[in-house]
């Protein structure tokens, strides 16, 4: 029987606080999966673009989520000065496009850009909904700032983000972070299997994936 391709999709958003909490375990899981399955990142697009100030109720809800994450995922840090030093907007698409703009120029730096955005937001009380923050981070990484600024709001960049959001929906993902194991291809899927997230132990996720892969090989 012809061997079918297998891919683990990580669907995320750079301004998703649960993704931030999951980051250490996700890195451990990626290392454990080296040579076992291909990993692909997909941007889910948590919140569409807006210039409106985030409603107070939403601000309080997100602060409460940060506190919950710190209780459930020991060692996760948040800088709560963000809520007094910035003008928060419920807008994560700019930070998603920043990753794509980085990828357009230096694909190898996309992971570094993701980390820079998360550190700026969660540790340094900077607002990655603002283009100037994202452009400054690109400069810090040594990217061509003029090209990055042009790509950030380009039609091509927006189309790529729309495509990735559509891919997340094709994988039946509506929350972040999410892991999905695909057998076959996106255009011809044989099996789409969600993988339960565990925020403090990568081995639990690893064993789930290994079990699913074993099932695939038996079919």
* Structural domain 6-218, CATH architecture: 3-Layer(aba) Sandwich (3.40)
Model confidence at 1, pLDDT cuts 50, 70, 90, reads very low
Check if the beta carbon of residue 90 is closer than 8 Å to that of residue 53.
Answer: no
Q: How far, in whole angstroms, is CA 152 from its chain's centroid?
A: 17
Please check the confidence at residue 218 and state whether its pLDDT lies above 80: no
What long-range pairs does 185-188 form, CB within 8 A, spacing at least 24?
Answer: 185/5
Question: Would you state the pLDDT for residue 103?
Answer: 98
Q: pTM (2 decimals)?
A: 0.95
- Location of structure tokens 């972040």: 176
Per-chain mean pLDDT for the chain? 96
Q: How far, in whole angstroms, is CA 72 from its chain's centroid?
A: 20
- Percentages helix, strand, coil for the chain (3-state, rounded to 5) are 55, 10, 35
198's tokens: 């565990």
Please check the confidence at residue 22 and state whether its pLDDT lies above 90: yes
The alpha-carbon radius of gyration of the chain (Å, integer) is 18
Report pLDDT digits (tens) over 31-73.
Answer: 999 999 999 999 999 999 999 999 999 999 999 999 999 999 9
The percentage of the chain sitting over the pLDDT mark of 70, rounded to a whole number, equals 97
Angle at 82 between CA 77 and CA 85, to 5 degrees: 150
Report pLDDT digits (tens) over 159-204.
Answer: 999 999 999 999 999 999 999 999 999 999 999 999 999 999 999 9
């Amino acid at each position: 029987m012809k061997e079918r391709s297998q891919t683990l999709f990580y669907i995320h958003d750079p301004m998703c606080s649960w993704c931030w909490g999951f980051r250490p375990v996700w890195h451990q899981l990626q290392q454990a999966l080296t040579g076992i399955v291909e990993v692909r990142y997909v941007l889910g697009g948590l919140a569409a673009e807006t210039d409106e100030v985030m409603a107070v109720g939403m601000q309080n809800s997100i602060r409460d989520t940060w506190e919950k994450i710190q209780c459930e995922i020991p060692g996760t840090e948040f800088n709560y000065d963000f809520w007094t030093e910035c003008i928060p907007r419920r807008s994560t698409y700019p930070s998603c496009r920043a990753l794509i703009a980085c990828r357009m120029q230096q694909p190898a730096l996309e992971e570094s850009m993701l980390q820079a955005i998360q550190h700026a937001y969660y540790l340094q009380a900077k607002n990655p909904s603002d283009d100037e923050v994202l452009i400054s981070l690109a400069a810090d990484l040594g990217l061509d700032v003029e090209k990055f600024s042009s790509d950030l709001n380009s039609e091509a960049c927006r189309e790529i983000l729309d495509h990735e959001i559509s891919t997340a929906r094709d994988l039946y993902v509506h929350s972040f972070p999410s892991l999905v194991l695909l057998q076959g291809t996106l255009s011809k899927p044989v099996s789409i299997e969600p993988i339960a997230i565990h925020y403090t132990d990568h081995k639990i996720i690893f064993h789930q994936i290994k079990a699913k892969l074993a099932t695939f090989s038996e079919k």
